[in-house]
Amino acid sequence: MKYNKLIIVASAVIFLGACTKLEEKFNSETTQGGGGIGGGGNSAALLKNAYRSLNGPFQNQDRWWAASEHTTDEAVGPTRGGDWDDNGIWRVYHNHRWNADHGFLTDTYRDLAQSQFAATTVLDNSPTAQQAGEAKFIRALVMWCVLDGWDQVPFRATSTGDLTKTLPEVKKGTAAADYIISELNAAIPGLPAGNGIGIASKNAARALLMKLYLNKGVYANRATPTFSPADMNQVISLADQILADFPAYPGGFTPNFFDNFTPNNDVIGKELVYTLKNDNASGTGGNGAMFQYHCGTHYNQTPSGWNGFTTLGDFYDAFAANDKRRGGGNTGPGDFGYYPGFTNVTGMRVGLLFGQQKSAAGANLLDRKGNPLSFTKAVALKETGNNLEITGVRVVKYVQDQVSQFPANNDMVIFRLADILLMKAEAILRGGTATPGPGAYGATSAAIVNNIRTHSSRGLAALGTVDLAAVYKERGFELYWEGWRRNDMIRFGTFLNARQLKAATTAERLIFPIPNQQLTINPNLTQNPGY
């Protein structure tokens, strides 16, 4: 089908700034009528293609997730002997030494642009009101990622015409944020009501709007952001609109925190606001849940992993010992059978894995060298020695289907209830006007945060005082490895600080460099300061 060619040509077309020998091919792909990109296409097929295009930037371990987590205090990808070196690219992420030729950042920027282009083709092919709303949301989501990461968003209003003759305009900073906000507001009337389990919806758009209003001060000045009470009130109002579609507290929370990330999370994950649909039965399986499990767990665990990524010992130590979100750690067979109603995941251990790991029968596991498979808090960017396979606390947030692992059935979570609540709590503390909101989730920041902490799925005591520092910590405990940490650390002013395995860095690291590849083909882009 012609639609399958979209992704192949999109990145070159969207940024093309100079004539090449490929110009004739691009011209024919983007100007033909009938079933082509430029006119008369099947909007339903194009929309399906646009959704699938999100798998590249969001469900590959080296794309947007890596840029959002490996640059922070939550994730590190140590080289283990000859494994996971990749020319040092993971180490560069963690210690903030990337440049404009960083391969993963270049690929991520390109993939996000491809998704933007794919969404625009839907809008150019006579979509229904709902299809147009969904396409606008997809485009807004990826444009927001580019804004958040690079501050410069190349944009074409149309996919039609001879795109080799014109360059995309570039939207920057708060002007880009304001444009994305206007697009989302235009999308909402056409979107289906409620939450978006695998599909854009009104609440999905509202959640993204919350991110934009919460971070508008960051996009004006990343080093020293200020926060407008008017913007914070928008965050609060949008949160209340989303909360109206959840059961009253405590019913909106799942009985088990990890229910939000299981292979059947689209059914039992009560806290989901927007997910990328992964369903092998319908041919829409993705790799997001798969990479999150396999990248960290050891080869000798079940299912077998790739023994790479870990979290940091300092991050692990920040959790209370009884925090259920931390998971089972190194206790025995009692951790197994977490999901007795879903036999394919019976025996799965979840959470932050520290200490001696065991089989389902309770036997101590070994690494490939015959050492006890006992994960440590200590970890180095470049591991050597006899224990190089066991360093680092591992993370299992997405529970794996042990039968159908590749690709995974778990929906990839983008927005969920606790994030909405914590954004509301933060907005109140940053100058917004507190509201009781629907569902009795709390009228104050303290009530909101404590209702999350004290729910049986989290299992913690209430805090006596809730300030911005407490909200920041709670976002880490709640949302670890969900792709929000870089965004949070920049907003709270901690991203540049020295921490485990990283020295203090300077302000240019708050924005990624524009890839040199893109500077070459689009002169409307300019390199970000400091690169």
Tell me whether residue 59 is in a domain: no
In this structure, how many other beta carbons lie within 10 angstroms of the beta carbon of residue 510?
A: 20
Query: Has residue 277 got a pLDDT over 50?
Result: yes
CA distance 135 to 320: 42
Helix (H) or strand (E) segment spanning residue 211: helix 202-220
Residue 234 pLDDT class (50, 70, 90 cuts)? very high
CA distance 298 to 523: 46
Tell me whether residue 174 is in a domain: no
Q: pLDDT tens across 332-377, in order?
A: 333 444 444 445 555 667 899 999 988 877 789 999 999 999 999 9
Q: pLDDT tens across 389-414, in order?
A: 999 999 999 887 766 666 778 899 99
Nearest Cα residue to 261 out of 76, 401, 469? 401
Q: 383 lies in which domain range?
A: 296-400
Tell me whether residue 328 is in a domain: yes
Query: Has residue 47 got a pLDDT over 70?
Result: yes
Q: pLDDT tens across 145-178, in order?
A: 999 999 999 999 999 988 888 899 999 999 999 9
Tell me whether residue 209 is in a domain: no
Nearest Cα residue to 183 out of 153, 162, 160? 153
* pLDDT reported for residue 169: 96
CB 288, CB 58: distance < 8 Å: yes
Tell me whether residue 308 is in a domain: yes
CA distance 130 to 116: 18
Tell me whether residue 372 is in a domain: yes
CA distance 182 to 464: 40
Share of the chain above pLDDT 90, in %: 76
Q: Is pTM, for the whole model, over 0.85? A: yes
HEC profile of 74-116: CCECCEECCECCHHHHHHHHHCCCCCCCCHHHHHHHHHHHHHH
The whole-angstrom distance between residue 426's C-alpha and the CA centroid of its chain comes to 20
Total domains in the fold of the chain? 1
Query: What does the mean pLDDT of the chain come to?
Result: 88
* pLDDT reported for residue 363: 86
Using DSSP's 3-state secondary structure scheme, residue 396 falls into strand
| Both tokens assigned to 392 | 């680092």
* pLDDT reported for residue 184: 98
Tell me whether residue 490 is in a domain: no
Q: pLDDT tens across 504-531, in order?
A: 999 999 999 999 999 999 999 999 999 9
Query: Has residue 432 got a pLDDT over 60?
Result: yes
Tell me whether residue 305 is in a domain: yes
* pLDDT reported for residue 41: 62
Query: Has residue 18 got a pLDDT over 50?
Result: no
